[in-house]
Homo-oligomer: A and B are copies of this chain.
Amino acid sequence: MPDSAFRLDPRLDQDCLSIEDWPLCRLLLMRDARYPWFILVPRIAGARDPIDLDATDHARLWAESARLSQAMRRAFSPHKLNVAALGNVVPQLHVHHIARDVGDAAWPAPVWGVGEAQVDAHDLFEHRIRALRDALPSKTP
């Protein structure tokens, strides 16, 4: 369960918009017009890898990942989802969820390190957040 010592990593805070808190994770949108790109951050201080969570929270992380993935599939109809916990640059545990399409800015490569984020797209980001919310089941996971 989330602990009060959790603070969102400053780099994630700078690069993303915070959408809402789920039972375990904070839900973020990456500010990059090129892809619908959401991130789940378990609100557990000090966690770096998924296995740093206890068994209950580990299961909850992937249940929340499934909930997000299903909503992204409904909202954005991607060709493929990319789901990844990397953390080489920002060690705080966070799980990327990226809706990929054939011909997108990095296809078929992974998105990291390809070109520059297109951060100046406030209306598009708001649209994505609305589309995701509309696609989420009303019940929390």
Chain A interfacial positions (CB closer than 8 Å to B): 48-51, 55, 58-59, 62-63, 65-66, 69-70, 73, 80-89, 91, 100, 107-110, 112-113
Contacts and interface: CB of A to CB of B under 8 A. Distances in A.
A55 B109 CA distance: 29
Nearest to A73: B51
Contacts of A89: 108
**So how many copies of this chain end up in the complex?**
2
Nearest to A51: B69
A105 B73 CA distance: 34
Contact of A109 (B49, B65, B91, B112): B112
Given A50-B66, A83-B84, A110 B112 contact: yes
